[in-house]
A and B are shown apart, each in its own frame.
Chain A
Amino acid sequence: MNLLLTLPALLLLALVFAVPLLRYGWLSFHADSVITGLQPVPNGGANWLRLIEDERFWQNTVQTLRFAGLSVALELLLGLALALLLHQRWRGRTAVRTITLLPWALPTAVMALGWRWIFNDPYGPINALVQALGQPALPFLSSPASTWFVVVLADVWKTTPFVALLLLAGLQTIPSDLYEAFALDGGSPWQALRRITLPLLLPYAFLAVLFRLAQALGVFDLVQILTGGGPAGSTETLALYSYLTAMRFLDFGYSATVMLGMFLLLLGLTTALLLGRRWLAGGRA
């Protein structure tokens, strides 16, 4: 009876998660593209061989990892600062917490366009400021390095509140007498942060990293709208590549292969993360 209650949900989950992955597994061994008239034709491991020598796949892998790594690191850092700020007692704290939550609540798609305007060359506000200071306008979205910076900034802006809230929840579980005892022993606030707060926050930071890393590796809306993967493909991520391969190039067999490749990558990373966590926990015990 109790198992029966879980059944409808588990069925829908299987339909939405398991069926697609199995389908991709099948598709990845078929040519299913505009050349085959959109009919699946078995082609052995040709898609996987193509994936291995596909420079674009590996370039995008590097770019996706770099984006996710830097964004999550920045979010963790800024999120920690924000959480520490919100953890203190001061007037207006609740209101400020609500306001910091706003960027997280807005659709990525909406703000992606907003950022395109903000960094517009030469009419956006940032460049208006730059020009007011007597400097020539900066072509933010025209060079790989600066475009990359804008994409990371947009992601950090949106998801830092999420990380901050997770860390804040962690901070609230630390009993305050720990700090009082530490202060009585003559420890400075800075030492308290390093010796008490950070170690106790570690599990929460892990959770935040797990969530954010997986999401950042799948980043799609932001790059599709903000940059379209350009300039020079420097902001193309694996998710965008698989989307383009399917929807623009009409090569479903290879698109499925790219997605599975990304899935395997993700699996490896998550496993490494969990092992690392166990190792850290073991080291401390």
Chain B
Amino acid sequence: MGLRSTLRYAVLALLLVGLIAGGALWAQRRQPVIVTALMPAPFAQATEPIVATFNRTHPDIELRVNRGPFETESISDLAISSLLLGDSPYDLLLMDVTWTPKYAAAGWLAPLEPLLGEDALAGVVPGAQEGNRFDGHLWRIPLVADMGLLYWRTDLMAAPPRTPDELMATASRLQRSGRVRWGYVWQGRQYEGLSCVFLEVLRAFGGQWLTDSGDRVELGNPGGVAAASWLRQLIDRGITPRAVANFAEPEALQSFEAGDVALMRNWPYAWAELQKPGSKVRGKVGVTTMVATSEGATAATQGSWGFSLVSQSPHPREAALVIAALTSPEVQKDLARRLGYTPTLSALFEDPELVAANPVLPELRRALDHTVLRPLSPLYAQLSDILQRQLSEVITGERQAPAAMERAQRLSNQVLRASGVGTSAVEATP
């Protein structure tokens, strides 16, 4: 037997093994009354003990959690491709607030009020109530509240800045005195986080993204231009590093945690991270709401996560039971105590045990009174994408703020118009 034929048999054998292994994978079939939930990795990890308890106390349901990617957009891509493919492997999705209208309009979600009752959101704080209803139905129950916050160093300043000018002045002063390398970091990468950052600044300067009627974008107005110019100024004056154009939450946190920065815009999760042993700013961090001018108002972009039921789910009843259990006060309290997650139920903000464990909780409750929602539209992803691109051009110095905002407005309105044509076409057909 020559080398060649030995090789041939080896290849054949390999093929056979491969096919059998593949066949075995193929043969795997779903068991009945398994409820599968897709969550971003951090949530999947955080809820591990909770899921274990649930499975122990509910022998008729097996809750399985699928660990998705961390980045909001990657997990949305994953959820969308599985929903598009049909026969979704997931019954429940842990969703970002901005997905709701799009998913609901696509027919991928089942309304929750028939299963959980009209008053399912009764105990939820106002700042987490919005964004769960669309087109007259309830699509989502929030698990964790999330809103943009301003982090400040208590060892460097007596009180946090309240206006954009104060912020610049404080930051510059600290940089000049050599106490910190950078004044203020935020999320400047071209991604959803940038839209969140911008919405807060936009409101601070009295601007508006989408008109109340929802059919026109107004970013080119003075408020929008002033907001974009301010972000650019932060970089021009050296308060914010140029590298911010590629910063998401982890990068901003990394530099703030290293003690290099006086102020940071981030979500509530950062507080617990900053109190961990390796942090150089442990015990020296305060939390407050975003700065604002007199024309605008302080605003915290709402970024909550909540459960939705996939309409393709074969077990809606069991899945609804899981939603109710996983958003219960006990679970939210547990998440808040163990990991510092912000609860959505008003009662928990007054829980003495939680307040003792998390001294910034009252501050978070105050921030929740100032939450603003990103446009509630099935076309939100497109609108946000246009805004991000134009902001990214401003941040990288490719385009001046007025031109960029005017362009964002024009392109957004083009998209709204183009899809409007589609809407009337739908109405024309029976």
Contacts and interface: CB of A to CB of B under 8 A. Distances in A.
- The answer to whether A and B touch directly, with their CB atoms under 8 angstroms apart, is yes
Interface of A: 31, 33-38, 41-43, 46, 50, 53-56, 121-122, 137, 139, 141-144, 228-234, 244, 247-251, 254
B106 A37 contact: yes
Interface in B179-205: 189-191
A44 to B, nearest CB: 9
8 contacts: A33-B422, A43-B425, A56-B411, A139-B243, A142-B242, A143-B397, A232-B395, A248-B73
Given A37-B426, A251-B382, 6 more contacts: A35-B422, A37-B107, A141-B246, A143-B245, A228-B190, A228-B191
A31 B396 contact: no
Contacts, number: 118
Contacts of A41: 422, 425-426, 429
Nearest to B382: A249
Closest 3 CB pairs of A and B: A230-B190, A31-B422, A142-B245
Contacts of A251: 382, 419
Interface in B64-101: 73, 76-77, 80-81, 84
A249 B422 contact: no
A35 B73 contact: no
A35 B381 CA distance: 13
Nearest to A233: B389
B378 interface: yes
Given A41-B425, A144-B396, A247 B106 contact: no
Q: Which interface residue of A41, A43, A139, A231 has the most chain B CB atoms within 10 A?
A: A231
B398 interface: yes
A232 B105 contact: no
B106 A46 contact: no
B411 A55 contact: yes
Contacts of A53: 414
Nearest to A230: B190
A147 to B, nearest CB: 9
Contacts of B242: 139, 142-143
B243 A230 contact: no
B288 interface: no
A252 to B, nearest CB: 9
Contacts of B389: 230, 232-233
A248 B77 CA distance: 7
Nearest to B191: A228
A35 B379 contact: yes
Contacts of A55: 411
Contact of A232 (B190, B379, B429): B190
A121 B81 CA distance: 32
A183 B378 CA distance: 72
Contacts of A232: 190, 389-390, 392-393, 395-396, 398-399
The listed residue with most B CB atoms (<10 A of its CB), out of A41, A137, A142, A233, is A142
B426 A36 contact: yes
Contact of A250 (B102, B190, B245): B102
Given A34-B106, A230-B189, A249 B396 contact: no
Query: Chain A CB within 10 Å — which of B77, B191, B245 has the most?
Result: B245
Given A229-B190, A231-B246, A37 B105 contact: yes
Given A43-B425, A230-B189, A232-B190, A247 B81 contact: yes
Given A144-B398, A231-B190, A249-B381, A36 B243 contact: no
A141 B393 CA distance: 13
Contacts of B245: 139, 142-143, 231
A54 B190 CA distance: 20
A137 B260 CA distance: 15
Given A46-B421, A144-B398, A249-B382, A121 B105 contact: no
Nearest to A243: B77
B109 to A, nearest CB: 12
Contacts of B425: 31, 36, 41-43
Contacts of B421: 31, 43, 46
Contact of B246 (A54, A142, A248): A142
A254 B381 CA distance: 15
Contacts of A229: 190
Given A31-B422, A35-B105, A247 B77 contact: yes
Contacts of B414: 50, 53-54
B249 interface: no
B327 to A, nearest CB: 27
Nearest to A253: B422
B273 interface: no
Contacts of A228: 190-191
A140 B88 CA distance: 40
B51 to A, nearest CB: 29
B385 interface: yes
Interface string B19-56: 00000000000000000000000000000000000000
Contacts of B396: 142-144, 231-232
B418 interface: yes
Contacts of B395: 231-232
A38 B106 contact: yes
A48 to B, nearest CB: 12
B423 interface: yes
Contacts of B102: 34, 250
A241 to B, nearest CB: 10
Interface in B361-408: 378-379, 381-382, 385, 389-390, 392-393, 395-399
A37 B108 CA distance: 10
A220 B361 CA distance: 44
A197 B341 CA distance: 68
B389 to A, nearest CB: 4
A142 B243 contact: yes
A141 B248 CA distance: 13
B324 to A, nearest CB: 29
Contacts of A35: 105, 378-379, 419, 422-423, 426
